[in-house]
Structure 1
Amino acid sequence: MGQVQSAFDPDKGSRTPDSYVVPPFPSLYNPSIVSTRQQRGYFLPDATSIWKFTFYWTLILMSATFEACAALAVFAQLLSRSAARRRDAAANAGRRSKFRLRRRSPLYFLLLIPIAMGAIATFVSLVSGTVVGFALAAVYNAGGFAMSTWVPFMWGMIQVVVLIIASYSSLTRVL
């Protein structure tokens, strides 16, 4: 019987050429039909670079999505504060006695929203990017294939879309 080896085993015979250099991080190329047929582009044959590229793209795309949601939340809170201030001023305009205005939380609490969302995005992308990166590395190395640098980017996008879909409870019940 054959022996099972890990894709991350350094003692395993590597299929990478001796002159291979891992491409710099984004390394996205134009995947035209001509470049695909001639195998021109950037490829990742080793498991470590597959994991790194998947993790980096997941981190970038999830952080961008989470921070966009945080910016929307801060904007909504600022609009709510200004509308409440105008409403209180209009209610107190015709009165002679001074009413005590409601005390609002300070604005620096709004800075906690992007910081918290950034920390959550980092943790979620660390876990999901590592799991997906290891799975991709194991599958591609088991088949003896070199992965295009577009594959980790697409898997990062898939993870973000799955997270967005999972955030809607009624949609997940249907699926």
Structure 2
Amino acid sequence: MGQVQSAFDPNKDSNKPNGYIVPPFPSLYNPTIVSTKQQWGFFLHDANAIWKFTFYWTLILMSATFEACAALAVFALLLSRGAARRRDAAANEGRRSKFRLRRRPPFWLLLMIPVAMGAIATFVSLVSGTVVGFALAAVYSAGGFSMSTWVPFMWGMIQVVVLIIASYSSLTRVL
């Protein structure tokens, strides 16, 4: 009876071409019809490289998305702080008695938003990038296929888009 082998087993016979070297990280190339037919470009054959590329792209794209949202949130909170300060000053104008100032949260709490979002993005991309990277590595290694370096990039984009769509509750009810 045959044994089940892992795609990450270093003793496994692989379908790597002779002299194969894992390309450096981004290694995105310009895919054209000619380069696709001739198999010119950068390809991944190693399961560890497939996982790493998928994880790195997921981390980069998800962190950029989360940090953009954090920057938007901090900007909106800074605008609301300024508007509240102007509104309080206008309401107190003409009054002789002192009024009780509302306590606003300290400024350093606003700076914690990007830090917290970065930590959340790192955790989410670690989990989702690892799961998708292992699945891609298993499928491509089991079939003996070579993977273009564009595939992990596109799967990172897919994960970000799925996360954005899932964040809207009305869309998830419809879907």
Q: How high is the TM-score relative to the length of structure 2?
A: 0.97
- The alpha-carbon deviation at position 20 of structure 1 amounts to 1.0
Q: Distance in 1 between matches of 2:174 and 2:153?
A: 28
Aligned residues: 175
- 1:32 aligns to what? 32
- 2:50 aligns to what? 50
CA offsets, 1:102-135, max 9 Å, x none? 1111111101100000000000000000000000
- 1:89 aligns to what? 89
- 2:146 aligns to what? 146
- The alpha-carbon deviation at position 158 of structure 1 amounts to 0.2
Question: What SS does the aligned partner of 2:105 have?
Answer: coil
CA offsets, 1:51-94, max 9 Å, x none? 00000000000000000000010001001100000000000111
Q: Distance in 1 between matches of 2:18 and 2:40?
A: 18
- The alpha-carbon deviation at position 18 of structure 1 amounts to 3.5
Whichever residue aligns with residue 160 of structure 1, its letter is: V
- The alpha-carbon deviation at position 2 of structure 1 amounts to 3.7
Alignment gaps of 5+ in structure 2: none
Counterparts of 1:157-168 in structure 2, within 5 Å, are 157-168=157-168
Q: Distance in 2 between matches of 1:11 and 1:38?
A: 30
Say whether residues 1:133 and 2:133 are aligned partners: yes
- The alpha-carbon deviation at position 48 of structure 1 amounts to 0.2
Moved runs in structure 1, 4+ residues, more than 6 A? none
Matched residues, percent identical? 86
Question: What SS does the aligned partner of 2:111 have?
Answer: helix
- 1:102 aligns to what? 102
- The alpha-carbon deviation at position 100 of structure 1 amounts to 2.5
- 1:78 aligns to what? 78
- The alpha-carbon deviation at position 29 of structure 1 amounts to 0.2
Q: Distance in 1 between matches of 2:62 and 2:45?
A: 25
Q: Distance in 1 between matches of 2:126 and 2:105?
A: 33
- 1:113 aligns to what? 113
Q: Distance in 2 between matches of 1:133 and 1:27?
A: 17
Alpha-carbon RMSD: 0.9
Whichever residue aligns with residue 155 of structure 1, its letter is: W
Q: Distance in 1 between matches of 2:90 and 2:81?
A: 14
Q: Distance in 1 between matches of 2:3 and 2:119?
A: 41
